[in-house]
Amino acid sequence: MPKIDSHPTVWPKQPHTQAKHDILVRYLGAWFAIFGASPYYTGVNVIDGFAGPGKYEDDEPGSPVLALNTLLDHKDFAKYHDTRFNFIFNELHTERFESLQSVLADAQAQRSAWPANVKVTPSNQNFQQLAQQLLDSLGPGQRLAPTFAFIDPFGYQDVPMSTVRDLVGHPSCELFIYFDFNSVNRFATAGKVDDHFTALFGCDEYKNAPPAGDPTRSQFIHDLYARQLRKECGFAHVASFRMINATGHTGSYLFFCTQNAKAYDKMKEAMWAIAPDGDYRFDDRYSDQPMLFGNDANTGPLQDQLAEHFAGQTVTVETVIDYVLDTPFHSNQVRAKTLAPMQRAGRISSPNQKRKNTFPAGTLITFPAHD
């Protein structure tokens, strides 16, 4: 097989890889719970299109094992017996695929009895071929069952927007994709790899990026990719998370895309847990500082925004939560973290609240008009 990158078969895990895995595991925990308990879906897919060798140099698990363990060790897994979980782990590189197979075999051997509703399919091909194979396996008019696709290449090749669209660009499919910002930033206007970038974006507007050194160039590139994911694949919600490398520059972004507002909310919650300042980024330079996992967000800006947006209105707590979905905050930050301090500070009141500072369903909230 031709050399496909400069990494060895198994490579050391970078700090930002840990952050990526933390987001993945947190989100999948929520995703499995939603579909495992759903009476509407009998089967779901997890596609790890660039699965890697299954482990890192220090034997820490790669994304396939993390995804499997998140399901099998889920506290409610025993209740999910009516849902089939279909995992597809695809890796192109021959030696990495062999490593992946052996890691998966070990993971299965470690469980005394493998659950009948969990199927693992290793695959050794180019991601684009895998996507085509999956699409060809569907009957006329058929679409994939609810699918979480993790697309995690090293660079910008082999992830054309058209393949992403055909595979997951429809309701109940979700995408968590690595975007090689560093390469696009370096070469967007260099004319060197235009064929690859045109495929990656599904358009050639990246050629209009402001010149290198212009402070708006980075945002332009980020926003163009987000816009294309919405436009080409029809995703209603797109969240991004920035990875800053050891030199202090943006190396990559992870984009999460879904049609579902609840899924979007859950992913924002997973991302907040890794970036508790609410800035949706991870910086390799500070990776040795203890991670403050938790939900202690500074909601001051959200409090001000709500006071401004709902000034003079009385609305339900559900209306407030719907509004928050379109902000960087997530729904679990609304009641105790935002509305309760607002009430304590006299910034809101409620005509039907049974207990102060609590906001069960149906609670009405009055935001005073501006003076």
Q: How far is the CB of 281 from ligand SAM (least distance, A)?
A: 19
Question: Mutual orientation of helices 161-168 and 127-136 as an angle, nearest 10°?
Answer: 30
Distance CA 100, CA 166 (A): 27
Q: Between residues 117 and 129, which has the closer beta carbon with respect to ligand SAM?
A: 129
Q: Between residues 15 and 234, which has the closer beta carbon with respect to ligand SAM?
A: 15
Q: How far is the CB of 190 from ligand SAM (least distance, A)?
A: 22
* Residue that the structure tokens 């094992």 belong to: 65
Q: Which residue is nearest to ligand SAM (CB)?
A: 62
Q: How far is the CB of 189 from ligand SAM (least distance, A)?
A: 25
Report helix, strand or coil for 287.
coil
* Residue that the structure tokens 């995690």 belong to: 152
Q: Between residues 52 and 122, which has the closer beta carbon with respect to ligand SAM?
A: 52
8 Å CB contact between 181 and 252: yes
Q: Between residues 177 and 348, which has the closer beta carbon with respect to ligand SAM?
A: 177
Q: Between residues 126 and 305, which has the closer beta carbon with respect to ligand SAM?
A: 126
Q: How far is the CB of 100 from ligand SAM (least distance, A)?
A: 8
Q: Which tokens sit at 151? A: 């697309």
Name the residue among 91, 88, 101 with its Cα closest to residue 47: 88
Cα Rg of the chain, angstroms:
22
Q: Between residues 122 and 153, which has the closer beta carbon with respect to ligand SAM?
A: 153
| The residue count for the chain | 371
Q: How far is the CB of 62 from ligand SAM (least distance, A)?
A: 3
Distance CA 20, CA 133 (A): 28
Q: Between residues 9 and 353, which has the closer beta carbon with respect to ligand SAM?
A: 9
Q: Where are the alpha helices (DSSP H) in 40-89?
A: 63-72
Q: How far is the CB of 156 from ligand SAM (least distance, A)?
A: 11
Q: Where are the alpha helices (DSSP H) in the chain?
A: 15-37, 63-72, 94-109, 127-136, 161-168, 181-187, 194-201, 217-233, 261-274, 300-309, 317-325, 340-344
- Most distant pair of Cα atoms in the chain: their distance: 71
Q: How far is the CB of 55 from ligand SAM (least distance, A)?
A: 8
Total Cβ atoms within 10 A of residue 361 = 8
- Residues in contact with ligand SAM by CB under 6 A are 4, 50-52, 62-63, 90-93, 96, 126-127, 152-154, 158
Q: Between residues 11 and 41, which has the closer beta carbon with respect to ligand SAM?
A: 11
Q: How far is the CB of 171 from ligand SAM (least distance, A)?
A: 25
For residue 199, give the amino acid letter: A
* Number of separate helices (H) and strands (E) present in the chain: 12, 10
